Amino acid sequence: MLTYITRRILFSIPVLILSTFFCFAFVSLAGDPRQNLLANPRFSRVHYHMLAHQYHLDVSIPVRYWYWVQDVFTHKLGNSLLTSQPIWPDLTRVMGHTLQVIVIAEVIALVLGVAVGIYSAIRQYSFFDYTFTTVSFVGFAMPTFWLALLLQIAFTDIYLKWHVRIFYTSGLNSGVTSSTWSIDRLQHIALPVMTLSIISFAFYSRYMRASMLDVISTDYVRTARAKGLPERKVIMRHVFRNALIPIVTVAALNFGALLGGAIVTETVFSLDGMGYYFITKLGQLDVYAVMAYLAVTAVFVILFNLIADILYGYLDPRVRYE
């Protein structure tokens, strides 16, 4: 087991280096971020060239990449190109916001998805099953940003028509400062959470249903029924517990990807999270900020891939790591 984990981690290092290098090259080639600074009339030419030297914009891309890698380890991901501010504090702040939103959203989606999936499977082809099948099909077909916009429009209209503020439709707080767990904060993150959990729910409920049906048709379930166990016990003890295994791994993978921020949802609701940070910095061609984001996201994905594999092996003893 330990050798397996070590090997996986060692294997992911070249993948990480290659993927960050390609992204680095792409963002660097996309344009010169100093163009925006030149628009400022008080910005001198001398400073312009100084910046190039300071941020190694005047050397070739592989060399710049090497400087960047050094920065990652010695200066906690380095400074932003445009604001000269350290990236790390910004990144931890937005990560906190993203974490709060996606943990709530994923928990809601998982609990509801698993419950609906179980019931749909044991009452296959019932009205309930068909209803939620339709729901998840529409969920699959719906662009996330469109769902987010619809919610935004609906709650803006409610506010404008009746002057009732149920949920805020953009931002994180009303005031300048706010604690992480205030009513105000919850009113702000409710719509992003709703968007994300609807999309994830569509997936989880469908997945759980398929997983349940897979297990229900196995021989050991037939055996359990044949020896006279009550149906409730068969479902809860024999089917449910085994059907949960794949969904746990899928949820771990999904969670790892979402830690990179729900780009679309955060953009729609101007939520100061990872995804919004990425989109803003990419638009400004701020190479080092974008790269910091990509590196952190890639590490999350690799880490949760590993967690998913280990979880799977732990939950399902039939899986062997050689």
Task: Give me the residues that bind another protein (CB under 8 A), please.
Answer: 4, 11-12, 15-16, 18-19, 22-23, 26-27, 29-30, 124-125, 133-134, 137-138, 140-146, 149-150, 152-153, 156-157, 160, 206-207, 210-211, 213-214, 217, 245-246, 249, 257, 260, 263-264, 267, 278-279, 282-283, 285, 290, 294, 297-298, 301-302, 309, 312-313, 316, 318-322
- Nearer residue to another protein within complex by CB, 4 or 88: 4
Contacts of 273 (CB under 8 A, 6+ apart): 94, 95, 97, 98, 101, 261, 262, 266
As measured in angstroms, the least distance from the Cβ of 161 to another protein is 11
Angle between helices 144-162 and 183-216 (to 10 degrees): 140
CB of 11 to another protein, least distance (A): 7
CB 278 within 8 A of CB 290: yes
Instruction: Give SS3 for 182.
Output: coil
Q: What are phi and psi of 14, to 5 degrees?
A: -60, -35
CA 216 to chain centre: 32
Which residues, 6+ apart, have CB-to-CB distance to 55 below 8 Å?
A: 81, 288
Of 36 and 124, the one with the shorter C-beta distance to another protein is: 124
Tell me the CA end-to-end span of the chain in Å, nearest whole number.
8
- Min dist CB 53 to another protein, Å, is 24
What is residue 86's three-state secondary structure? strand
Cα→Cα distances 160→32, 153, 156, 163, Å: 43, 10, 6, 5
Report the residue number, 60 or 178, with the smaller CB distance to another protein: 60
Residue 243 C-beta: closest distance to another protein, Å? 9
Which C-beta is closer to another protein: that of 1 or that of 46? 1
Q: How far is Cα 121 from Cα 98, in angstroms, rounded to an integer?
A: 33
The least CB distance from residue 244 to another protein, in Å, is 11
Closest CB to another protein among residues 53, 143: 143
Report the nearest approach of another protein to the CB of residue 174 (Å): 19
Q: Give me the least distance between CB of 303 and another protein, in Å please.
A: 11
Q: Which of 193, 298, 200 is nearest to 256 (CA)?
A: 298
Task: Give whichever of 3 and 177 is closer to another protein, judged by the CB atom.
Answer: 3
CB nearer to another protein: pick between 104 and 298? 298
- Burial of 56: CB neighbours in 10 Å, binned 0-12, 13-18, 19+: middle
